[in-house]
Amino acid sequence: MNHILVTGGAGYIGSHTVLELLKLGENVVVIDDLSNSSKESLNRVETLSGKAVTFFEGSILDQDLLVNIFSQFSFSSVIHFAGHKAVGESVNKPLSYYHNNVQGTVSLVEVMEKFNVNNLVFSSSATVYGEGAKPPYIETQTLGCPTSPYGQTKLMVERILADVVRSNSDFKVANLRYFNPIGADESGQIGEDPNGIPNNLMPFVAQVAVGKRAELSIFGNDYATEDGTCERDYIHVTDLAQGHVAALNWLVNQAHGLCEAFNLGTGTPYSVLKIVKSFEQYTKVKVPFKFVPRRDGDLDAFWANADKAADKLNWQAHKTMQDMMEDTWRWQSNNPNGYNA
């Protein structure tokens, strides 16, 4: 029986993707060291789908564990989410990021090659386009220099995977470049549960709304955008999860080794202020905010050209801004303390 291995599957995007895979009847094995997640996410995914997940607690850096797992299951493919993702933290702890994200991927791919598992979907990021890129970002443009060690790890892994494909004509890779994932499964049972003070906009907005934090700080209102606040391409996490399913289906049907990148975004930019106003409009909950100076490394505006994913993967984002806001709020208001309630 074929299985899909999901690394980092207990995390935010991983748990939503595992749910979509189980709903489609796939057999899923997860490895996660729970460094930024809780096993409770997968308990809830099992309840929502009515199907079991096989879970291994441990790191992809542990090759003995990987070999043990690969010996027990026949994997058709791997979806690789595991990694550290805090941009600011990566500036202070670059070696931890290079070790976990880059060496972790090398460790995983070595074991994949050993067991002849040839399909890999990798969590990349729009950050690989770098500072000088002009939006909308498109896959054909030359990649730039990401502004943080975190971004560098994504670029390095993309390059390593391209080299692996050059050396192994059976190996197939889809690098999915996410824009800004937000929202939660419509059940309100799983969602984003950051440790400590949220770095990202949406969980911060949700925690202000639920009364855990007094007000949102909006980083900069003097950017070259319509209302002066930064613009991003926010994508619903369920659309993103379905993008992984589409990428896997495409990958397994390719005859030869390849390494292809796909933007997963909506193609529409929203400003920080518009996000706050939309949240208030659709949830009827006020979000007090103040303007503070710009955050280092933030770019004015970027969004996706997502035509390639539509053409090749037959995938596009369907959820609306209203879905993103209502689903975020359903998750946060049902679980004010995340999975630790």
Nearest Cα residue to 156 out of 92, 254, 83:
83
- Asked if 295 interacts with ligand UDP (CB under 6 A), we say yes
Cis ω for the linkage preceding 136 (within 30 of 0):
yes
Helix (H, G, I), strand (E, B) or coil at 120: strand
- Asked if 218 interacts with ligand UDP (CB under 6 A), we say yes
CA distance 175 to 124: 6
Nearest Cα residue to 148 out of 86, 233, 100, 190:
86
Our CB check for ligand UDP shows the closer of 218 and 248 to be 218
- Asked if 239 interacts with ligand NAD (CB under 6 A), we say no
C-alpha distances (whole Å) from 279 to each of 112, 208, 258, 324, 332 are 43, 11, 41, 9, 12
With CB under 5 to 8 Å by kind, the binding choice for 149 among ligand UDP, ligand NAD, none is none
Binding residue for ligand UDP (CB under 6 A) from 180, 189, 207, 238? 180
Binding residue for ligand UDP (CB under 6 A) from 54, 199, 225, 268? 199
54-57 and 216-219 beta bridge pairing: unpaired
- Asked if 301 interacts with ligand UDP (CB under 6 A), we say no
- Asked if 213 interacts with ligand UDP (CB under 6 A), we say no
- Asked if 59 interacts with ligand NAD (CB under 6 A), we say yes
Catalytic residue among 129, 137, 150, 223: 150
Residue nearest to ligand NAD (CB): 11
Nearest Cα residue to 248 out of 179, 311, 182, 173:
173
- Is residue 282 among the annotated active site residues? no
With CB under 5 to 8 Å by kind, the binding choice for 219 among ligand NAD, ligand UDP, none is ligand UDP
**Which residues of the chain form contacts with ligand UDP (CB under 6 A)?**
180, 199-201, 204, 216-219, 230, 232, 272, 295, 298
